[in-house]
Amino acid sequence: MMVHTIYYITVQQGQVTDYSSRCNNPPGIRCESASPKFDPNRYTVPGLFAYARRILDGKTSRLMISYDEQFSFPSRIQYDFSAGGGVLTSSLTVIRFEILE
């Protein structure tokens, strides 16, 4: 089952100034990870690079990273990992990125 959580993060001058999250699962499927307690710095541009590096340094059987064509940050990180005797896939995708003036 896929769990979809959407994170909204505003960064100004390198600092997180606002953040929230919401569950985006189909009706009836609980989404426990949608919590205001998440670390928004994980989803900033430096945080995305650090996240990719941690996965790369860890034990993963497959890692795919796509980069934003205009700004060159990791826009999609997908990897496989072992859990409970099986292999699970996790992914993170940047849906929208905009420069604040």
**Could you read off the pLDDT of 35-62 as tens digits, one per residue?**
556 788 888 889 999 988 988 887 787 8
| pTM flag (> 0.75) | no
Q: Where are the domains of the chain?
A: 1-39, 44-101
Q: How many angstroms separate the CA atoms of 27 and 95, rounded?
A: 22
The token duo for 20 is: 């929230």
Closest CA to 4 of 98, 91, 99: 91
Q: What is the pLDDT of residues 16-39, one digit of tens each?
A: 888 887 777 767 766 655 455 678
In order, the DSSP letters of 20-58 are EEEE-PPTT---TT--TTS-GGGGSHHHHHHHHHHHHHS
Q: What are phi and psi of 10, to 5 degrees?
A: -115, 125
